[in-house]
Amino acid sequence: MAVNSTIGLYLAGEISPQVALSRLLLEGMDAAQIKLAVFAARPDPPTAAWQSLAALTAEQASTLDRLASEVGRTGSDHSNLGGIAGIAAFFDNAVRFSPRPG
């Protein structure tokens, strides 16, 4: 199995683990899929960077699932928003699903 390009960027030191997880969520993955992708990218022997990403993925599994659900509800396809009106509608939809502070 090929290493996911986002995980490859992280392992190469190009992006932070938080950015990597965010990108994986926007690729449409949930926590279980992210865990599988991370374990598929495990180097032999495991590096400190890989171990950190694996640990963060495990520690934040419930948060990743919640965020994956939000991405699914609000839509993650930003490729064809149709100008200002499309962008405004996208953000209005995202705000409608966002948790309220306090």
72 token code pair:
């699914």
What is the pTM assigned to this prediction?
0.74
Give the pLDDT score at 70. Answer: 81
**Residue among 102, 101, 30 nearest 71 (CA):** 30
Cα 7 to Cα 5: distance, rounded to the nearest angstrom: 5
Give the pLDDT score at 81. Answer: 63
Give the pLDDT score at 20. Answer: 94
**Residue among 80, 83, 81, 64 nearest 72 (CA):** 64
Give the pLDDT score at 61. Answer: 95
CB burial of residue 44 (10 Å; 0-12, 13-18, 19+): exposed
- Mean pLDDT, the chain cut into blocks of 10 residues (102 residues total): 82 94 89 95 95 96 90 67 74 69 62
Give the pLDDT score at 72. Answer: 80
Neighbouring CB atoms inside 10 A of 68's CB total 21
